[in-house]
Amino acid sequence: MKTLLIDLGQFNAGSLTDVTFSWHNHGLGMIATVCKKHDIDVDYKSCKDGLSEEDLKGYDIVGISMMSSDYPQAMAIIDIIKPENPNCKIVVGGIHATVDPDSLLRNDKIDFIIAGEGEISFVEYLKSASPQGSRIIRGKNVKNLDILPYVDRDIYSSPLEKNVDGWGESPMATMITARGCPYKCTFCQPAERNHFGSNVHRRSVADVIGEIKFLIDKYDPKYFVFYDDSFCYDIHWLNEFIKQYREIGLPFFVSARADFVCRFPDMITLLKSVGMKVISVGFESGSDRILRMIKKGTTVAQNYEAIKIIGEANVKIFANIMYGFPGEVKHEQFETYNMCKFISEYDSMISPAYFTPFPGSFLGDECKRKDLSLVNENNMTRYGRDKIKGVDYDWLDSFIWRN
């Protein structure tokens, strides 16, 4: 059967071609790679390369991986495929399929939904002549990530990625070393746990270094971006990574939490010594009350300490900041602004965003129960502004961008 996997990228204005920057989709890329390992031919197409209606024709099965913010675009693509080819089976996966399958079940053009990881379950679906039973297929977690092959980057239009301001040098290779997150942030969890399971599953250092060497030999990247949530999580894994990466010598980007930086300040120096140039930290807020409300597990004091540790180590800070939480008042927004001013004293890039009440998150579901949410599956775009009731977005826009 002729099978197509569609990477939605990150849309602007619901178009098949007007797509903003987005990283390679490693999840969908891994599914394509595993299919090929099982001698199943699949085509892989990305909207960020410009997807036409003609590109969607002639397939027996189309798999779409989507986040909640992708809903309108995914439905638009399905509405193009089904009238043209009503016998084509549409299979939808990704985090939205895990956290809000009901929104997909309401669409009778969607044949099957894979909730959870897809490498095992999608291959099983393709191998079955005609799956019976529920439209929801429960994905099977891959507990030992070392059994997975390296993502076949030749499926992408460009195996390496271009530089994005603040991230690093071109050409760069993005990598994921782990799945899952042990933390409890209410703007995200329990969605990630429901998708990947309760535990963090981590590739061995040997497996990660092996892929790095393979990528260098084949594609010659000049920079690596490790953009999984849990890179700086296991101190023993990190020490072994530092030991083995030293011979690689290429610069790289990682993510960490403020409390990790405070607990292991020497680790910043060690990571820098083997090539770390940028570290991304989700500081989120300069208000202790907000940090407690979202169960971040950090304090404002830790935020400031982490900023100082990273800055004085001459490592660039990529600071993730959120405004517009439920009940957030202006003096708390000023506290966050003051923290951003302190960040700006060092080499840094600040990435502000408005809180979005995503389905499947504790805080998102609470906003829905309390009738605070202004978003639904049809308007939950990545770049939409007004998210919840009670937030003065006009004032925030002026405040954030003026300063």
Q: Which pair of tokens denotes residue 377?
A: 């599956």
Give the residue with greater pLDDT, 14 vs 279: 279
Domains and CATH numbers, the chain: 3-138 (3.40.50.280), 160-402 (3.20.20.70)
Q: Which pair of tokens denotes residue 270?
A: 């060690």
Please name which of 45, 52, 15, 74 lies closest in space to residue 378, comparing C-alpha atoms. Answer: 74
- Alpha carbon 48 to its chain's center: 16
Q: What is the pLDDT of residues 25-70, one digit of tens each?
A: 999 999 999 999 999 999 999 988 888 889 999 999 999 999 998 8
What pLDDT is attached to residue 245?
A: 98
Helix (H) or strand (E) holding 266: helix 265-273
Count of H helices and E strands in the chain? 15, 16
* Band (331; pLDDT cuts 50, 70, 90): very high
* Band (11; pLDDT cuts 50, 70, 90): very low
The answer for residues whose C-beta is within 8 angstroms of residue 300's C-beta and 6 or more apart is 285, 286, 287, 288, 291, 335, 339
Size of the chain, expressed as the number of residues it contains: 403
* Band (10; pLDDT cuts 50, 70, 90): low
What pLDDT is attached to residue 12?
A: 43
List the strands of the sheet with 61-65, edge to edge.
Answer: 42-46, 3-7, 61-65, 89-93, 112-115, 136-138
What's the whole-number mean pLDDT along residues 104-127?
A: 95
What pLDDT is attached to residue 295?
A: 98
Residue 202 main-chain phi, psi, to 5 deg: -125, 135
Cis geometry, peptide bond prior to residue 171 (ω within 30 degrees of 0): yes
Please name which of 95, 79, 225 lies closest in space to residue 161, comparing C-alpha atoms. Answer: 225
DSSP, collapsed to helix, strand or coil, labels residue 21 as coil
What's the whole-number mean pLDDT along residues 228-251?
A: 95
Give the residue with greater pLDDT, 8 vs 276: 276
Give the residue with greater pLDDT, 14 vs 167: 167
Q: What is the pLDDT of residues 193-203, one digit of tens each?
A: 999 988 899 99
- Alpha carbon 285 to its chain's center: 20
What pLDDT is attached to residue 169?
A: 78
13-18: long-range contacts, CB 8 A cutoff, minimum separation 24:
14/72, 14/73, 14/76, 16/47, 16/50, 16/51, 16/52, 16/53, 16/76, 16/77, 17/47, 17/50, 17/51, 17/52
- Dist. CA 94–CA 300, nearest whole Å: 33
What pLDDT is attached to residue 262?
A: 98
What pLDDT is attached to residue 22?
A: 65
Is the pLDDT at 174 greater than 90, yes or no?
A: yes
DSSP, collapsed to helix, strand or coil, labels residue 143 as coil
pTM given for the model: 0.92
Question: Contact at 8 Å (CB) between 66 and 92?
Answer: yes
- Dist. CA 299–CA 362, nearest whole Å: 20
234-243: long-range contacts, CB 8 A cutoff, minimum separation 24:
234/200, 234/202, 235/264, 235/267, 237/202, 237/205, 238/267, 238/271, 239/270, 240/205, 241/205, 241/208, 241/209, 242/270, 242/271, 242/273, 242/274
User: In the predicted model, what is the mean pLDDT of the chain?
Assistant: 92
What's the whole-number mean pLDDT along residues 338-347?
A: 98
Please report the DSSP string for 192-204 in residue order: HHHHH-SS-EE--
What pLDDT is attached to residue 170?
A: 83
Q: Which residues pair with 224 in a beta bridge?
A: 173, 252
Q: What is the pLDDT of residues 356-403, one digit of tens each?
A: 999 999 999 999 999 999 998 888 776 678 999 999 999 999 988 776
- Dist. CA 91–CA 114, nearest whole Å: 7
